[in-house]
Amino acid sequence: MCIGNAFELWVIYYVGASLSALIWSWAVYNDIQFTNDKIKQHTEHQNALAIAQFTAANNRDFSQYYLDKLNKAYPLKERADLLEIICTANPHLTATKLDELLVKLKIYCDNSLSCYQIRAKEIAFMIFDRVIFHCGNSKALLGELENIGNHLDDANTIINIDSALHQVITVLHHAINQLNSNTPDMQLVDKVKAYIIEQYHHDISIADIVSAVGASRSHTMKIFKQLTATTINQYLADVRINQAKLLLLTKTVTETAYAVGFNNSAYFSTVFRKHTELSPKEYQQQCQLKSSMRAAK
- Residue-wise pLDDT for 46-57, tens only, equals 555 544 444 434
Predicted local distance difference test score (pLDDT) of residue 236 = 93
Between CA 221 and CA 231 the distance in angstroms is 7
Is residue 214 domain-resident?
A: yes
pLDDT one-digit tens code per residue, 246-284: 899 888 999 999 999 998 889 999 999 998 899 999 999
Do 244 and 174 fall into the same domain? no
What whole-number distance in Å separates Cα of residue 5 and Cα of residue 90? 49
Other Cβ atoms closer than 10 A to 207: 9
Containing structural domain, residue 65? 48-180
One domain, residues 65 and 171: yes
My answer on whether 215 and 121 are in the same domain is: no
Computed over every residue of the chain, the mean pLDDT equals 80
Q: Let me know if 46 is exposed, middle or buried by CB neighbors in 10 A (0-12, 13-18, 19+).
A: middle
Question: Same structural domain for residues 188 and 142?
Answer: no
| CB neighbour list of residue 173: distance below 8 Å, 6 or more residues apart | 89, 91, 94
The answer to whether residue 277 is domain-embedded is yes
| Range of lowest pLDDT (31-35, 86-90, 116-120, 168-172) | 86-90
- Which residues are CB-contacts of 141 (< 8 A; sequence separation ≥ 6)? 128, 131, 132, 172, 175
Collapsing DSSP to helix, strand or coil, 155 comes out as coil
User: pTM (2 decimals)?
Assistant: 0.48
Is residue 216 helix, strand or coil? coil
Residue 249 lies in a domain: yes
Residue 118 lies in a domain: yes
Note the pLDDT of residue 56: 39
Measured between alpha carbons, how far apart are the two ends of the chain, in Å?
Answer: 76
Whether the CA torsion 114, 116, 119, 121 is positive or negative: it is: negative
User: What does the DSSP 8-state code read for residue 243?
Assistant: H
Does some domain include residue 15? no
> Is the CA virtual torsion 71, 75, 81, 83 positive or negative?
negative
Q: Helices 265-276 and 232-247 sit at what angle, rounded to 10 degrees?
A: 100
Q: What is the mean pLDDT of residues 212-225?
A: 91
The CATH number of residue 246's host domain is 1.10.10.60
105 and 213: one domain? Answer: no
Residue 3 lies in a domain: no
Q: Residue 66: pLDDT above 50?
A: no
The verdict on 196 and 150 lying in the same domain is no
**Main-chain dihedrals φ then ψ at residue 199, nearest 5 degrees:** -120, 5
Q: Do residues 69 and 82 share a domain? A: yes
Of the residues 180, 202, 217, the one at which a domain ends: 180
The whole-angstrom separation of Cα 78 and Cα 158 is 19
On whether residue 189 sits in a domain, the answer given is yes
87: in domain: yes
Cα distances from 20 to residues 9, 30, 280, in angstroms, run 17, 15, 51
Shared domain for 193 and 139, answered yes or no, is no
Same domain, 160 and 202: no
Q: What is the DSSP string of 206-257?
A: HHHHHHHHTS-HHHHHHHHHHHHSS-HHHHHHHHHHHHHHHHTTTS-HHHHH
- Quickly state the pLDDT bin for 190 (edges 50, 70, 90): confident
Residues 165 and 229 in one domain: no
- Give 162-165 contacts, CB < 8 A, sequence gap 24+: 162/102, 164/120, 164/124, 165/98, 165/102, 165/120, 165/123, 165/124
Q: Which of 145, 180, 215 is the last residue of a domain?
A: 180
The answer to whether the beta carbons of residues 276 and 283 sit under 8 Å apart is yes
- Domain final residue, candidates 118, 150, 180: 180
Task: Note whether 193 and 290 are same-domain residues.
Answer: yes
Report the domain count for the chain.
2
The single-letter code of the amino acid at 220 is T
Let me know whether 82 and 118 are in one domain: yes
